[in-house]
Amino acid sequence: MAEPRSAVQLLTPEGRLNTDGAAAEYLPYIDALDDDQLRQFYRDMVVVRRFDVEAANLQRQGEMGLWVPSMGQEAAQVGSAYATRAQDHIFPAYREHAIAMIRGVDLIDIIRMLRGLTHGGWDPKQRGNFHLYTLVIGSHALHATGFAMGIALDGDPTGDPDKDEATIVYFGDGATSQGDVSEAFVFAASYRTPQVFFLQNNHWAISVPVSVQSRTPLYQRSEGFGIPSVQIDGNDVLASFAVTKRNLDEARGGTGPRLIEALTYRMGAHTSSDDPTKYRSDAEVASWAERDPISRYETWLRSLGATDNFFENVKTEAEDFAADIRRRTLELPTPDPALMFDHVYSEPHPVTEEQKAWLADYEQSYGGDA
């Protein structure tokens, strides 16, 4: 077994830039960012965290059947999302709210799904190639791989990173135990797909710790399949950005697939139906709170000159965003029952047409207010 390597970290939990060792080779990616871009990372992490709190509250108030919190994983998501290019295709699991927002999904569409109004919510082609959430753990790893096989079949890379395409697929530590993820590694390696596997190791698959999923560090898993990998501090938005940028650009250029394991932590429950106090300690949660992705980044931005005024503005923006989500959630219309039938098939089908007509007649028979 390979000797474990240390995780790439550019920003320490205390908010200092790390210039040693592995970090040094990634710093040029950060140096290339201007102040506005750096501040955008902060803004998005804060807005999505506030959104997450608002959505969890809405669920508790009975406005959604379920909520899937992303709190604690903002750095892994925001950094990697900004590392993608416009032409890339993103295949999320179901907790990637920050990436959805950055790629252009209206987050009310995620609310619509968890409020029970749709199984999808958006057209990926109109929303930054951000594909639909997949609730069956790991299944979408194969879709991302097949899509990347299609990119490779369409033609060799041009060498222009602004044109060459890649896919990035997000999944968690629990998903690594699914056969579909291992099969995706096999297909990706065999066909040398332009693809990054982005593994958010948040340490818990609902109530089961990562030690039950794997006895080896998870980033080593893909190497056995011939997929080079790197482990990062997933609560460091700079590491997430720089390492994803490099690996995606290498993959799109034809090196074959890569895997990034981002070490992070799910600060909240798995979903609103979960009770994490039954399986993990307060001390563990507290230790991760000290490694919070937002507070360390705030410290660093202040060291670069950001003032209270900036942070107050972001806070106001986040409050406004949350209020807007709350207002729009309460206004969401219930879909027409015809929605059940309309897209079961893409071409006419006698059974769905007959049943759609029957349901309409049945509802009409007692005034349509069943």
Partner 1 sequence: MSDIVTGQDQVRTAHPEQTPEAPATAELPMAKALNAGLRKALADDPKVLLMGEDIGPLGGVFRITEGLQAEFGPKRVIDTPLAESGIIGTAIGLAMRGYRPVVEIQFDGFIFPGFDQITTQLAKLTNRHEGTQAFPVVIRVPYGGHIGAVEHHQESPEAYFAHTPGLRLVSPSTPNDAYWMIQEAIRSNDPVMFFEPKSRYWPKGTVDFRASVAPLHSSRVVRTGTDVTVLGHGAMVSVLLQAAEIAEAEGASLEVVDLRSLSPIDYRPILESVQKTGRLVIASEAPGFASIPSEIAATVAEKAFYSLEAPVLRVTGFDAPFPPAKLETQYLPDADRVLEAVDRALAY
The site for partner 1 (CB under 8 A) is made up of: 118-120, 123-126, 131-132, 134, 136, 139, 141-151, 153-154, 179-180, 183-184, 186-187, 190, 339, 342-347, 349-352
State the minimum distance, in angstroms, from the CB of residue 270 to partner 1.
Answer: 20
Residue 232's SS3 state is strand
State the minimum distance, in angstroms, from the CB of residue 131 to partner 1.
Answer: 8
- How far apart CA 18 and CA 238 sit, in angstroms, is 10
Between 284 and 353, CB nearer to partner 1: 353
- How far apart CA 341 and CA 351 sit, in angstroms, is 9
Query: Partners of 17 in the beta sheet?
Result: 11
Q: Are 214 and 222 in contact (CB under 8 A)?
A: no
Query: 193-206 b/e with 16+ CB inside 10 Å = b?
Result: bbbbbbbbbbbbbe
Between 52 and 164, CB nearer to partner 1: 164
Between 2 and 351, CB nearer to partner 1: 351
Pairing of strands 167-172, 195-201: parallel
Residue type for position 137: I
With CA atoms as reference, report the closest residue to 1 among 259, 215, 257.
215
Between 186 and 370, CB nearer to partner 1: 186
Catalytically active residues, by annotation: 266, 270, 279
- How far apart CA 241 and CA 307 sit, in angstroms, is 24
Residue 285's SS3 state is helix
Between 126 and 273, CB nearer to partner 1: 126
Q: Which two tokens stand for residue 106?
A: 């209206």
DSSP 329-347: HHHPPPPPTTHHHHTSSSS
State the minimum distance, in angstroms, from the CB of residue 192 to partner 1.
Answer: 13
Residue 13 Ramachandran class (φ > 0 left, ψ -120 to 50 alpha, else beta): alpha
